[in-house]
Amino acid sequence: MSVGAPGIDFRDPGLPRRLHSAFAGLPPVVALRDGFWFVTRYDDVAALLKDRVRCGTDIHRVRGYDERRPFGAGSALERFQEGLLINLGAEDHRRVRGAFTPPFTRAAVGASMGALVAGLAAELVEALPDDGEVDWVAEVARPLPARVFASLFALPDDDVEQLMGLLHEDTVAIDVLLDPAIVDEDDLARGQAAMLGLVTYLEELAVARLAAPGDDLLSWLVGAYREGVLSWDDVLTQAMESLAAGTSTTQTLLSGMVEAFASAPGEWERVHDDPALVRPAVEEALRWVSPALTMGRVALEDFSLHGCAIREGDVLQCAVLVANRDPSVFPEPGVFDVAREPNRHVAFGGGVHTCLGAHVARLEAREVLTRAVARWSRIEVLEAELHPTLMIRTYKSMRVRMVGR
Ligand code: HEM
């Protein structure tokens, strides 16, 4: 089996660092192996993510999936992955997403999470020195989304730190979807064991909420189970999906945003001088960082794309990161411009699957950026290390030097 497009080896641990350049200049559609395509142009990516006729997300529609069972037949990892919103067929997706959408609308996030996120961001930023060196990932980027999740689900902060460790093993294991050859058996076994740990933890908690509901999001999900809208597995999967989809991606955004500014120091001052730029700056950071490298869709019918014969059951990986650097849509895509307008990036995907937590992630980034530009005249990045995961890029650490105003 061939691994990767010409010049791209998914097993290269240095790949996450140079993904934009690695994929730049490739044809619009690249066959990575039989039935598995990478789509790299913005217009195609944006269209396919929304397309509900030619494409879907039901993982069982992927040719050979039910025979291969790449997550491990009967494992907790398989049970969880198959229940994710992003892997459900249209009907189940509508039901589950409908039940979990109300707390995540822009208005609901603003009303119920604004003060919480602002308070947590302030606490983390204020704990740092005016001048000095810290690990930005350990001090801000990892704890903020973890504590937001802990508050929303009413969990002790310490438990979430532990859950984040387990979650990392899952992030490693999902690369099996990109290419089974890049996840070795030990990684997969660790992913499966980690998922069992996560499910067990959340299930105990969900049982407790069934007996004594609160006003947290797990109680919300348990309430939908009580009303017969969600199954018990839906409850556990959605709790896990919020943890999985919401913490590592946001951590990557909060780290990558600082790295982007460090490479364009004038932009930091622009935001400092004009706070109205915080919002567009966060959108530009999303475009620039694109924490989720790629989003998969399965072909529901045969069709042709740029002369390539796509067959029903093929996987189309929509390369979000590459699309967000498409020069035909983003002039000077390699320039980090905090006032970029328009900026219709696809960092949160598109169509009915558009990221459920987008408003939460934006809020976290805005709160951190607002406080950071006020407090420091610059943040220099001394050393940044990424985990060698591909679907979701994550930072292991990022040593920074902050210089106070
Ligand atoms: C910077 C942070 C984030 C990024 C870049 C991100 C990115 C994405 C992307 C690309 C998708 C797939 C969309 C598609 O296939 O069209 C997605 C889906 C999803 N995200 Fe996020 N996400 C982030 C934060 C969050 C947060 C904070 C939460 C929850 C609290 C969350 C929950 C979800 C869920 C539940 C889905 C599945 C939606 C569906 O399939 O209907 N995400 N996200």
Answer yes or no: is the C-beta of 284 below 6 A from any ligand 1 atom: no
Higher pLDDT, 278 or 38: 278
CATH fold of the domain at 15-404: Cytochrome p450 (1.10.630)
**pLDDT computed for residue 3 by the predictor:** 41
- CA of 231 from ligand 1 middle (Å) equals 21
Least confident segment among 24-33, 196-205, 220-229: 24-33
- CA of 1 from ligand 1 middle (Å) equals 31
Considering only CA atoms, which of 163, 152, 76 is closest in space to residue 114? 152
Q: Which two tokens stand for residue 286?
A: 């999303």
What ligand 1 atom has the least distance to the C-alpha of 346? 10
How many whole angstroms separate alpha carbon 252 and alpha carbon 44?
25
Banded model confidence at residue 104, pLDDT cuts 50, 70, 90: very high
Contacts (Cβ under 8 Å, ≥6 apart) of 115 = none
Answer yes or no: is the C-beta of 249 below 6 A from any ligand 1 atom: yes
How many whole angstroms separate alpha carbon 252 and alpha carbon 211?
36
Q: Which long-range contacts (CB under 8 A, 24 or more apart) does 185-194 make?
A: 188/71, 188/72, 188/77, 191/71, 191/77, 192/71, 192/72, 192/75, 192/76, 192/77, 193/169, 194/166, 194/167, 194/168, 194/169, 194/170
Answer yes or no: is the C-beta of 246 below 6 A from any ligand 1 atom: yes
How many whole angstroms separate alpha carbon 242 and alpha carbon 357?
8
- CA of 361 from ligand 1 middle (Å) equals 9
Banded model confidence at residue 163, pLDDT cuts 50, 70, 90: confident
Mean pLDDT of 369-378: 98
pLDDT tens for residues 41-62?
A: 999 999 999 999 999 999 999 9
pTM above the 0.85 mark?
A: yes
pLDDT tens for residues 376-387?
A: 999 999 999 998
What ligand 1 atom has the least distance to the C-alpha of 241? 35
Q: Which two tokens stand for residue 214?
A: 């609160």
Neighbours of 51 (CB within 10 A): 18
Banded model confidence at residue 5, pLDDT cuts 50, 70, 90: low
Among 80, 117, 236, 348, name the best residue to mutate to test ligand 1's pocket (greatest count of ligand atoms within 8 A of Cβ): 348
Asked whether the predicted pLDDT for residue 186 surpasses 90, the reply is no
Asked whether the predicted pLDDT for residue 1 surpasses 50, the reply is no
Q: Is 309 within 8 Å of 302 (Cβ atoms)?
A: yes
Asked whether the predicted pLDDT for residue 172 surpasses 80, the reply is no
Q: H helices within 71-156, ranges in order? A: 76-83, 90-100, 106-126, 136, 143-152
Least confident segment among 62-71, 368-377, 385-394, 396-405: 385-394
Higher pLDDT, 133 or 80: 133
Banded model confidence at residue 177, pLDDT cuts 50, 70, 90: confident
